[in-house]
Structure 1
Amino acid sequence: MTYAVGIDLGTTNSVVSVFRRGVVQTIAIDGRSTMPSVVSVREDGSILVGSAAKSRLLLDPANTVASAKRFMGNRHKFYNVAGKSLSPVDIGSMVLKRIVESTRIALGEEIRDAVITVPAYFTDAQREDTRRAGEQAGLNVLRLIPEPTAAAIAYGLDKGKDQTIMVYDLGGGTFDVSILRVQGNRFEVKGVGGNTNLGGDDFDRTIINWASEQFKIQTGIDLQSDNSRLGIIARQRLKDAAETAKIELSVSDSATIAIPDCLGHALELELSISEYNNLIAPLLQRTVNCMKSVLQDARLQPEDIDRVILVGGSTKNRAVREIVAREIKEPYTSDRVDEVVAHGAAIAAANLSLPDEVSLDVLDVTAHSLGISMLNYKEELVFKPIVPRQTTYPCKRGIIGYTNRPLQNEIDIPVFRGENTDPNYNDYLGILSLPVSPPQSEIVPVAAIFDLDADGIIHFTAVQLPPGSQSASIIENARENKGLVDLNAVEALIKSGEAQTKMAQINSK
């Protein structure tokens, strides 16, 4: 039998699991349950992925890439590695290929289908790039599932207990918080929030900055601005030492940062747990703000949460547990906190590939509002959400646009992602171009359909409304509903052949 796998494609480490014979199993890679999400290219063009690549961060940092997940969705980011130009999608694909190869050997069968997890706060572009990385690795990506939802599935499946769960997921590069209502094996997400640039890497950076400042005081050398080969190697050694100190401080009250040769000087510093907690306090406060925001969106109070689940390697930090306990309640930490997301993904994969074996119902919500800019009654441009954040998906919403000059062949609508009423403070996604065919001398209405699929990826369709009473009623209904379209009426026009659907594309800057 061929099994679908669940993959937690992480910033720092990745994990793959499979659900078979009623049990979730983590597949070891290089003898470990987690594999570093690191890629290194040798001068001869050969590629190393995982532990072997991570070991080359010290030997050849210029040709080794880590934490590429942070740049998913950035179509302008490229790594120049050993004469190759690699995008974050390419790096993610290489990591996934290594995972697939190792899993195939471990299970003795071909691996084709997979569910891949993404941060709940990932944007449409970041999700799309994650899917592309999976497809580039030869995978049939059954579904992209938010990491906190996967963790809740792993924790709550077959518990037979109705409960409201908050998942606090702090990994190497991203932070998510989700609230889910669990009823049997039905997982309904009530609210999500997070930050795709907040995680263990930032904890490391606070230690690196502190140690660099101490080193500068002692030697007068600015380690952070030395871009020579020795300077780059010294910074990588300091990063490794900082990560080791962070891990040690999860169980000890102090840690030593020692580098015998750092640009010709010995670096030896003692970092206490109180100093460390002061360094990371602003980062932890950002997670508190997210928790409060999601509670507000879900219209819940801390006492309404039955259980807080900690997920991700960075939650091993004692200060994390303390702040969650103070703000919400004493959290629950899995014995295999690094693997729980992949376990949930494996269960979801089994549900999609073998629904008779695993019964599961998951309802996720959007993390961001998607909408357009439009003129209000004061003739001011304002942001109009079409798909508001915390909307359950898959879903469809539509608006109507109009030509404003004779023989106009398309309607252009600026599209944004964000929550501010002023579109200038939101993320500009581009111009949604709605084709008009054939161009006409009179005003032509065109419906723009925002279609959010099961992976949280947005698709656009344009529907040119024909003249006639049916279109008139659709337009009048839209005016009464702040521009939102009655999709059932539009679908009826399409089925009757009176209206045709057309591709509508976002043209980015």
Structure 2
Amino acid sequence: MTTHWAIDLGTSNTTICEDRSGRPHTVNLPDLAKLEPLTQTPVLPSCVCVMDRDGEDVLIGQEAVTYNWDGQAAGFARGFKRYLGMESGRAMARVGGRIFTAQDIASFFLREVIGKLEAQFGEDITDITIATPSGFYETYRAELQAIIRRVKHRSWWEHLWGRLRRKPTRIVFRTLDEPVAAALGYGVDVGRPTTLVAFDFGGGSMEAAVVRTHGARTVETGRAEVLAKQAVELGGDDVDRWILERFVPTAMHDWPEWEVALRWEAERVKLLASAGREGDFTFRNETYGKLDYNVLSELLAEKGLYSRMRELLDALLTELRTRHGVPAAGIDDVILEGGSTLLPEVRNVVGDVLGREKVREWLPFASVARGACIFAGGAHVEDFIYHDYGLRVLPDDEAEAEYELLIPGGTSFPTVDNFVTRYYAPGFDGQQHINLFICEIGRVAGRRVDWTERANGSRYFVPGTAGERAFCLCLNEADAGLPLNPPGKGASPRLRVTYSVDENRWLCVTVHDLHRKTDLRVEHPVVRLR
């Protein structure tokens, strides 16, 4: 069986997936990759350090970053992706008087990646898919194809003359649009026509594109129609700079040998704060301050990040409506890409503008590569619920709310009608209604929350920090409560509620009043799950 390999070649980081069993897996190259600290996804920094003028000795990924610890390595290059399509001849590094172009650097990077994969897995790579930005020109795809064929041709000749043991094999090379790949990775069925927004927030820029897939044609070609696109030059690198400005004296920024280490420390505490934890900004054994979720949120608001996001998304919707007559309600799904989507409140801002119920699961580092693998394998999408969904419980002592698990992530749908059954008693005598507040419990910084089972057999989650609370989104707070007539009395159960998920992802409830022996709701849709 052919192994499908997929590469999400990012401007800042690159992710690799392989599929040899029908289920894509993210690949870790331990010497070259780093584990993204929040989601634990292995990513390769998209960096190259050329060590000799012939380009034979090069370092890539984390090895290149470590070698360039002081930022002074002449052969160090990053950001080559953005130039590959339009300025492939742009100078990126110089070693021994020789200039290396963006095309050279991309070739070195992919050559080393493929070589390491073949060495680690002990097999030839003959099936490669690389996701490409929708707005890039065809020359970008052509450059990638030429690089892959050149790399594999050279690899074969090395095997031929070095080992004399194999015949040349045909290389299968594919490309597909990154938003399509991300949609597949998130579980969107692009086999049917759909309109989706891909919000990509990385290290250097923030982009949003409205993409329309065309059913079977999209599955066959990997190409989709871009209806609208907006971008601003603002990314995670800017957030790192804001953190430095907040904690470190300006004079320290001008020391070249300190710049890289300071940036690393800014990124470290940024990731901790985004995960709802507290981090001390420490440099040269001195602590300059603390950063937590709330402080970082305030800093981002102060610097205008959230305002810029809303402006970008509003401009996107205006373009979509003006050029194509498609209203915001015509958007089916919203997918998030890029590490900066993990920053505090970013997901909430996107949801506030485009609809929180439309925002898909959070796979900012793995979705594109995973989707590219699915595409290579025939674009079969497993449809299931990604996030956990629970009922918000409000304790009598007015402490912070806790959540009771109803629909766990990974649930296939449609479910049986009585997938979950719960009994609810009034909280006090005279209570006239009971609310069912359904909440989406997102992954806290990429990780599922820990649910604790109690004596009643149900599982609960109690957020411990502001960061954890921010990932618990109530989806139906404006819904009217279920009426109790006559009003509730005593501590015995009053309502029996059964929960199920229909074929369109709607969470439906059937509510039976035990006192009156009558149904108040029958398979009533409450919220749409993702």
TM-score bucket of the superposed structures, by smaller chain: 0.5 to 0.7
Aligned to 2:326, what secondary structure does the other structure show? coil
Q: Contact (CA 8 Å) 1:277, 1:319: kept in 2 or not?
A: no
| Equivalent residue number for residue 34 of structure 1 | 43
Q: In the aligned structure 1, how far is the partner of 2:185 from the partner of 2:58?
A: 33
Q: CA deviation at 1:158?
A: 5.7
Q: How does 1:386-397 map onto structure 2 within 5 Å? A: none
Q: How does 1:120-159 map onto structure 2 within 5 Å? A: 120-138=134-152, 140=171, 142-156=173-187
Q: Contact (CA 8 Å) 1:115, 1:144: kept in 2 or not?
A: yes
| Equivalent residue number for residue 328 of structure 2 | 302
| Equivalent residue number for residue 16 of structure 2 | 16
Q: In the aligned structure 2, how far is the partner of 1:116 from the partner of 1:290?
A: 30
| Equivalent residue number for residue 57 of structure 1 | 68
Supply the AA of the counterpart residue of 2:263.
Answer: K
| Equivalent residue number for residue 345 of structure 2 | 319
| Equivalent residue number for residue 117 of structure 2 | 103
Q: In the aligned structure 1, how far is the partner of 2:342 from the partner of 2:89?
A: 34
Aligned to 1:104, what secondary structure does the other structure show? helix
2:365 aligned with 1:338 = yes
The 1:70–1:161 alpha-carbon spacing in structure 2 relative to 1, beyond 3 Å, is closer
Counting aligned pairs with the same residue, the percent is: 25
Q: CA deviation at 1:197?
A: 4.8
Aligned to 1:244, what secondary structure does the other structure show? helix
- Please identify, of 192-201 and 77-86, the stretch whose mean Cα deviation from structure 2 is larger: 192-201
Aligned to 2:123, what secondary structure does the other structure show? coil
- Please identify, of 34-43 and 186-195, the stretch whose mean Cα deviation from structure 2 is larger: 186-195
Aligned to 2:345, what secondary structure does the other structure show? helix
The 1:253–1:26 alpha-carbon spacing in structure 2 relative to 1, beyond 3 Å, is closer
- Please identify, of 95-104 and 140-149, the stretch whose mean Cα deviation from structure 2 is larger: 140-149
Q: Contact (CA 8 Å) 2:26, 2:366: kept in 1 or not?
A: yes
Aligned length: 338
CA deviation string 1:283-336 (max 9, x = no partner): 534642553255334432222223212122221122321211111111535354
Q: How does 1:200-239 map onto structure 2 within 5 Å? A: 200-208=236-244, 210-211=245-246, 215-216=249-250, 221=251, 223=253, 226=254, 231-239=255-263
Q: In the aligned structure 1, how far is the partner of 2:360 from the partner of 2:104?
A: 33
Q: Contact (CA 8 Å) 1:117, 1:150: kept in 2 or not?
A: yes
The 1:160–1:67 alpha-carbon spacing in structure 2 relative to 1, beyond 3 Å, is closer
Q: CA deviation at 1:110?
A: 0.9
2:316 aligned with 1:291 = yes
The 1:193–1:110 alpha-carbon spacing in structure 2 relative to 1, beyond 3 Å, is same
2:79 aligned with 1:67 = yes
RMSD, matched Cα: 3.4
Q: In the aligned structure 2, how far is the partner of 1:103 from the partner of 1:293?
A: 45
CA deviation string 1:459-485 (max 9, x = no partner): xxxxxxxxxxxxxxxxxxxxxxxxxxx
2:191 aligned with 1:179 = no
| Equivalent residue number for residue 268 of structure 1 | 288
CA deviation string 1:206-239 (max 9, x = no partner): 444x358x513xxxx373xx4xxxx222111222
Q: CA deviation at 1:88?
A: 1.8
Aligned to 1:337, what secondary structure does the other structure show? coil
Q: How does 1:330-409 map onto structure 2 within 5 Å? A: 330=356, 332-334=359-361, 336-351=363-378
Q: Contact (CA 8 Å) 2:89, 2:103: kept in 1 or not?
A: no
CA deviation string 1:322-378 (max 9, x = no partner): 211111111535354311101111223334xxxxxx579xxxxxxxxxxxxxxxxxx
CA deviation string 1:47-84 (max 9, x = no partner): 11112112223145433223332333324531334434
| Equivalent residue number for residue 481 of structure 1 | none
Supply the AA of the counterpart residue of 2:123.
Answer: E
Unaligned runs of 5+ in 1: 352-357, 361-509
The 1:318–1:2 alpha-carbon spacing in structure 2 relative to 1, beyond 3 Å, is same
Q: In the aligned structure 2, how far is the partner of 1:131 from the partner of 1:152?
A: 23
Supply the AA of the counterpart residue of 1:313.
Answer: G
Aligned to 2:28, what secondary structure does the other structure show? coil
Q: In the aligned structure 2, how far is the partner of 1:122 from the partner of 1:176?
A: 14
CA deviation string 1:243-291 (max 9, x = no partner): 2233223123765433228xxxx67244522013322346534642553
Q: Contact (CA 8 Å) 1:121, 1:192: kept in 2 or not?
A: no
| Equivalent residue number for residue 249 of structure 1 | 273
Aligned to 1:5, what secondary structure does the other structure show? strand
Q: Contact (CA 8 Å) 1:207, 1:276: kept in 2 or not?
A: no
Q: In the aligned structure 2, how far is the partner of 1:338 from the partner of 1:180?
A: 22
Q: In the aligned structure 2, how far is the partner of 1:248 from the partner of 1:15?
A: 22
Aligned to 1:177, what secondary structure does the other structure show? strand
Q: In the aligned structure 2, how far is the partner of 1:125 from the partner of 1:163?
A: 27
The 1:305–1:157 alpha-carbon spacing in structure 2 relative to 1, beyond 3 Å, is closer
TM-score (normalizing by structure 1): 0.58
Q: Contact (CA 8 Å) 2:4, 2:20: kept in 1 or not?
A: no
The 1:131–1:243 alpha-carbon spacing in structure 2 relative to 1, beyond 3 Å, is farther
The 1:7–1:267 alpha-carbon spacing in structure 2 relative to 1, beyond 3 Å, is same
Supply the AA of the counterpart residue of 1:347.
Answer: I
84, 92, 108: which one aligns with 1:79: 92
Q: CA deviation at 1:10?
A: 0.8
Unaligned runs of 5+ in 2: 36-41, 154-170, 382-530
Q: In the aligned structure 2, how far is the partner of 1:326 from the partner of 1:36?
A: 32
Q: CA deviation at 1:132?
A: 4.4
Supply the AA of the counterpart residue of 2:317.
Answer: K
Supply the AA of the counterpart residue of 2:67.
Answer: R
Q: CA deviation at 1:240?
A: 1.3
Q: Contact (CA 8 Å) 1:93, 1:137: kept in 2 or not?
A: yes
Q: In the aligned structure 1, how far is the partner of 2:201 from the partner of 2:318?
A: 17
Q: Contact (CA 8 Å) 1:70, 1:196: kept in 2 or not?
A: no
Q: CA deviation at 1:199?
A: 3.5
Supply the AA of the counterpart residue of 2:81.
Answer: K
CA deviation string 1:412-457 (max 9, x = no partner): xxxxxxxxxxxxxxxxxxxxxxxxxxxxxxxxxxxxxxxxxxxxxx
Q: Contact (CA 8 Å) 1:142, 1:349: kept in 2 or not?
A: no
The 1:25–1:252 alpha-carbon spacing in structure 2 relative to 1, beyond 3 Å, is closer
TM-score (normalizing by structure 2): 0.56
